[in-house]
Amino acid sequence: MDKGAFDPQQLIIREAHADEFELIWPIFSDVVQRGDTYAYEPDIGKQEAERLWLLQTQRCYVALVNEQVVGSYYIKTNQSGPGKHVCNCGYMVSSAARGKGAATAMCLHSQQQALELGYLAMQFNFVAASNEVAVNLWLKLGFEKVGRLPKAFNHPKLGLVDAFVMHKSLV
């Protein structure tokens, strides 16, 4: 993969097919094993990862460059009942594609999909404060820090760090 941002013409985001977790798994596994961004067990099994990322979500998408999966995101209802108008998303990008615009493209795509699915807002429940790249990207894309969870994330190198709840109205 070349350095620099993706040409928007090269990046294709589409809904993942039910049998495509095999293509997402290497990215998921790499991100989670590092233990520095997601609150999943670093040794999570493939079957449990598929259940969380693909099967328990409303929709799951893949981002492709030259037919190669470079990222994925899910969208799901954050809370049921009176909170069902707010969605939650999670994003993962392959190590080869980081810093090239895939996360930005997926976040913008997810906001459009959320609106089409009838959501009025998007909320990220647990963004590690030490994940400065993600925090800064979400702020740049219009999300606000609406809550701080003190020492909620146990970073493998930094120890206990805060996590943020981040929110954006979509209407």
* Average confidence (pLDDT) over 108-135: 98
Tell me how far CA of residue 37 lies from CA of 7, 51, 70, 96, in angstroms: 26, 19, 17, 17
pLDDT surpasses 80 at 8:
no
pLDDT surpasses 60 at 1:
no
Higher pLDDT, 8 or 14: 14
Residue-wise pLDDT for 18-77, tens only, equals 899 999 999 999 999 999 999 999 999 999 999 999 999 999 999 999 999 999 999 999
CA dihedral 169, 163, 22, 34 (to 10 degrees): 150
* Average confidence (pLDDT) over 78-104: 95
Is the domain covering 11-169 a CATH 3.40.630.30 domain?
yes
Alpha helices in the chain (DSSP H): 21-34, 46-50, 102-116, 132-140
Q: 7: phi > 0 → left, psi -120 to 50 → alpha, else beta; which?
A: beta
- Contact by Cβ (8 Å): 63, 70: yes
pLDDT tier for residue 145 given thresholds of 50, 70 and 90: very high
- As a whole-number percent, the residues of the chain with pLDDT over 70 amount to 95
